[in-house]
Amino acid sequence: MAHFARTFAAASALSAALSLGAQAETPTLPWTPSGQITMMIGFQAGGGADSLARVLSDALSATYGWTVVPENIAGRGGAAMAEALKKEPADGLTIGFTVSQSLAYDPQIAMIPTYGLEDFDFLSSVTGSQVGIVARADRGWKTLGDVIEAARAGQKISFAAMTQQLSDGTYVIGKHNGVAFTSVNVQGGRGGVNAVMAQDVDIAWAGGTQASSVSSGDLVNLASGEATPLIMSPDAPLLSQYDVPYDFGAKFLLIAPAGLPEEVKTSLEQAVAGLLNDPDSALHTLTVRNFSGPEVVQGAALRAAMQQRYDQATKLIDDAAE
Amino acid sequence: MDPLHYVLAGVLAFFQGPTAFTIFGLGISSAVLMVIAGFLTGLVGGATPGLSGAFLMAVSLPILLQVFGFTPDALLPVMGFLVGVMKGATVGGAVPAILFQTPGTPDAMMTTLDGYPMSRRGQSGKALRVAHFASVTGDTFSDLVLFTCAPFLAVLVEHYLGFTEKAALIILSLSFIAAVVGSSPMKGLMAAFLGLFIASIASGQDSYPRLSMHTEILREGIPLSTAILGVLILGEVLAAFEEMFRARHNARPISEAPPRSNDNGLSLRERWRLMPYISVSAVIGTIVGALPGIGSTLAATLGYVAGHRMHKGKVPFGKGAPEGVAATEAANSSVSGANLIPVLSLGIPGNVGAVFLILAADSIGGFNPGPGVFRFSLSEVNPQLITAFGLFTAMMFANILNWIVGGQLMRACGIMARVPKQILLPMVLLLTLTAIYVQDPRIDSFVFAFAFALLGYLMRKLMIPTLPLVISLILAGNLENAVRQAFSVSGADPFFLFRSPLSVAFLVAAVLVVVLVSRRRDGDRRKSAAPATRAAAE
């Protein structure tokens, strides 16, 4: 037993030494937090997005000497976190990690909307999803067109979606192509991929979790749900080819309660940009491996992008309601 | 590469992977170290009421990713740690279940039924030995099945279970639990339905929190772990406080710590006598584990029920029968190995622990749980298969560790059973409240905790079993999802649950279990009432 205790102690000492050695010198920023920064995470602990947020908070602590404490406030697709964050003072000591859809789409379908875009300051986008429509490779379909053909020929196609927005997408794709899919709601980032792998559904939306199965040849991306081609399957057609003019991609963002003082905002923006632009940082590596790579959009450009997403969501909801 | 070379390469990848440090020129691989660290963390965490393996894994995964980075070299150390936690927590979870009637992990709930009465008789040492022996045996068996059957079994099982069958199977498991636990199946069903109702507050797919009646406190739903800890632990603490109060009121001495029994060992012959229970439970646990989406709590329940059926000994189940502890522990421990069958071959987890293994693989890359893992390609090397065998080696290594030191570590906690109630109860209360606050740090947590403590207390007073409530709280989300998905996939067919023969069979079994158990209980009651009536008439 004592032997195990010793080896374990040695291992922890070693890992501590490694992480100390990896620390770079601290860049200077116009603002220093007066205490601990709480990073509210709008996702369940342990998911892909949660890991991303935790790596970000650890990197902020390690690089800038701040104390950033992650706190998961999961529930209702990020709405629980947004509501909690909105109530916090705008002093930079509480920031939130969320996904664009939670601010641009979800409030528009809420029975009683509890927050809007104007309630937040947008600090920085971090990275984006790689939304695709996937099927098992052994089904023989190469593109979404093949599936639409099969549906037109009378085959019943079940289509899994993880969110209400993607369910709207399922309906709109069918509507614009003269077919009706059987829409199935699944849970979690891997929900769609799991359902397709298990042959519980025919095709599914996937937000990036399909990457490994696509590269191993088990799944194929039938179409890209993003505005641009997918990194893992550049040949997969865009949805615009099927008369669907919407971008179903999501961006991961760092936000704060509205009314942040200018130097606080600048410091937080610079801090995040510094980490994302460093190709050796763990954050950079993670965004490249599991997401769309680092995407640093900040300030007025980010607010405009969010407004554009909001307006597009309005159109999608109207389209799906007709 | 032929299959044997794949196995060998996997074993070597585990023991000779990147080294953490060297002792006398011998490199110690970081994967080996991490399995040890994970096992110890899991054991201590599992033994702490309120901390679960899933919680430990959720907290440690981001730290591990930070330390080991995102190269394929990180796969075995990170997954090794998680496997260690999973195994440690399963064994550790039995300790508070036996000593305090406080399951450290949800799957140890059934262990309380016999483990705690044994503890009260002063046989906590024996109960812990039984739990450890059953747990490690079940676990090792399950791992062996995983290694030999994984590729074939997974494809078969998944072929027969769609959304509909999963929904029907969860209904069957709920009705099992409601019928078997407690004095009356109807009370059990009431508890189960209450659990489903509570779990449906503010959950579901609406963006509006349903059933929250526009209140702030219910907006985020009922915190699951707080509810479970409240009903199970705090409710029991309240009941125990009442008992202490009454004892004092009647000027009787406060009930002392349990007597120390001399029967705390576990001889070879006793172990041999437990083997039938352990074997049956290990097989049940392994089968349940291989079904995607169904967890170890169900396995523990089924193992316990099977053991109950087989049992003919003088100490009945539920009153402190070592066979009860063995049946439960063997079943819940044998889930973890078999659980990796659907995880590795289809990427679908059967319990929470497996979810984190998938997440680790996803975040690191280079290992994609799916049919590609088990492709024995001869012309070129399939690195995923080597990683899979490396993972199997890590699991076996954790088992060996468990055989050697697990038992001693568990019993080291046995000393806590001798603490008198006046000291123990406030400690459990404090520990539980701390655990509740750590998991959900807001003052509302205490409101929920005390509300559920009161509910647990009332249920004990009304002789309604708390277990069906707790288990339906856990399964409610899975059930709702499975039902919704089965309904959508059927294209809104109102008879969607009755379209597949397998799901009809599960549903019929669900009804039969309740009916048969009710009848038998009625029969028992009539039999015991008849002599009394006769005596009264005479």
Go through A40-59 and write b for each residue having 16 or more CB atoms within 10 A of its CB, e for each that does not: bbbbebbbbbbbbbbbbbbb
pLDDT tens per residue, chain B (538 residues)? 677 888 888 888 888 877 777 777 777 888 999 999 999 888 887 777 655 666 677 667 767 877 787 667 888 999 999 999 988 888 888 888 888 776 656 677 788 888 888 888 888 888 888 999 999 999 999 888 888 877 666 566 556 777 888 788 778 878 877 876 667 889 989 999 999 999 999 887 776 788 888 888 888 788 877 887 788 778 878 887 888 888 776 654 444 455 666 677 777 888 888 888 898 888 988 888 776 545 567 778 788 888 888 877 777 777 778 888 888 889 888 887 887 876 776 666 555 566 677 767 776 766 777 666 776 666 557 778 888 889 999 999 999 999 998 888 877 765 544 556 677 678 778 877 876 776 677 889 899 999 999 999 999 899 998 878 877 887 788 789 889 989 988 888 899 999 999 999 989 998 998 898 888 777 777 776 665 555 555 4
Helix (H) or strand (E) holding A127: strand A120-128
Please name the residues in contact with A153: beta carbons below 8 A apart, sequence gap of 6 or more.
none
Q: Measured between alpha carbons, how far is A318 from A225 in angstroms, rounded to an integer?
A: 19
Domain boundary among A221, A242, A263: A242
CB-nearest partner of B485 from A4, A185, A282: A185
CA distance A118 to chain B (A): 20
CB A53 within 8 A of CB A286: no
Show the tokens assigned to B353. 């622990």
pLDDT of residue B437: 76
Q: Nearest Cα to A49, choosing from A82, A72, A68?
A: A72
* A 221-280 → B contacts, CB under 8 A: none
- Overall number of domains in chain B: 1
Residue A22 in any domain: the answer is: no
* A 161-180 → B contacts, CB under 8 A: 164
pLDDT of residue B343: 72
Residue A276 in any domain: the answer is: yes
Residue B157 in any domain: the answer is: yes
Output the CA–CA distances (angstroms, integers) from residue B515 to A290, B183, B454, B508, in the order listed: 51, 14, 31, 11
Residue B259 in any domain: the answer is: no
Domain that holds residue B387: 3-246+267-523
- Whether A198 sits inside 8 A of B348 (CB atoms) is yes
Q: Is A207 on the interface with B (CB under 8 A)?
A: no
Q: What's the CATH number where A233 sits? A: 3.40.190.10
Residue B262 in any domain: the answer is: no
Q: What residues of A are in contact with residue B215 (Cβ under 8 Å)?
A: none
Q: How many CB atoms lie under 10 A from the CB of residue B530?
A: 10
Domain boundary among A182, A213, A242: A242
- Whether A75 sits inside 8 A of B221 (CB atoms) is yes
Query: What is the C-alpha radius of gyration for chain B, rounded to an integer number of angstroms?
Result: 24
Pair A81, A136 in one domain:
no
pLDDT tens per residue, chain A (322 residues)? 444 444 444 444 444 444 444 444 566 788 999 999 999 999 876 667 888 998 999 999 999 999 999 888 887 788 889 999 999 999 999 999 999 999 999 999 887 888 999 999 999 999 999 999 999 999 999 999 999 999 999 999 999 998 889 999 999 999 999 999 999 988 766 778 878 887 889 999 998 888 878 887 889 999 999 999 999 999 999 999 999 999 999 999 999 999 999 999 999 999 999 999 999 888 998 898 888 999 999 999 999 999 999 999 999 999 998 7
Residue B295 in any domain: the answer is: yes
Q: What is the ipTM of this complex?
A: 0.74
- Report helix, strand or coil for A220: strand
Pair A238, A255 in one domain:
no
- Whether B66 sits inside 8 A of A282 (CB atoms) is yes
Confidence (pTM): 0.68
**DSSP classification of residue B350:** S
Q: Measured between alpha carbons, how far is B346 from B56 in angstroms, rounded to an integer?
A: 25
Residue indicated by tokens 């039924």 = B113
**DSSP classification of residue A294:** B
pLDDT of residue B233: 75
CB-nearest partner of A58 from B66, B481, B488: B66
Nearest residue of chain A to residue B207 (CA atoms): A110
Q: How many CA atoms lie within 13 A of A81 on its CB side?
A: 31
CB-nearest partner of B220 from A75, A110, A282: A75
Q: What's the CATH number where A59 sits? A: 3.40.190.150
Residue B253 in any domain: the answer is: no
Q: Is A312 on the interface with B (CB under 8 A)?
A: no
Residue B189 in any domain: the answer is: yes
Domain boundary among A242, A263, A290: A242
CA distance A145 to chain B (A): 21
Residue B464 in any domain: the answer is: yes
- Whether A213 sits inside 8 A of B219 (CB atoms) is no
Q: Measured between alpha carbons, how far is B88 from B40 in angstroms, rounded to an integer?
A: 6
* A 116-155 → B contacts, CB under 8 A: none
- Whether B158 sits inside 8 A of A209 (CB atoms) is no
Residue A8 in any domain: the answer is: no
Domain that holds residue A172: 132-242
Nearest residue of chain A to residue B38 (CA atoms): A8
pLDDT of residue A46: 61
Residue B28 in any domain: the answer is: yes
- Overall number of domains in chain A: 2
Strand order in the sheet with A219-224: A182-185, A158-161, A203-206, A132-136, A219-224
Q: Is A7 on the interface with B (CB under 8 A)?
A: yes
* Residue B448 Cα to chain centre, angstroms: 23
Pair A268, A303 in one domain:
yes
Q: Measured between alpha carbons, how far is A253 from A272 in angstroms, rounded to an integer?
A: 11
Pair A152, A216 in one domain:
yes
Pair A62, A96 in one domain:
yes
- Whether A48 sits inside 8 A of B481 (CB atoms) is no
Pair A154, A289 in one domain:
no
- Whether A216 sits inside 8 A of B368 (CB atoms) is yes
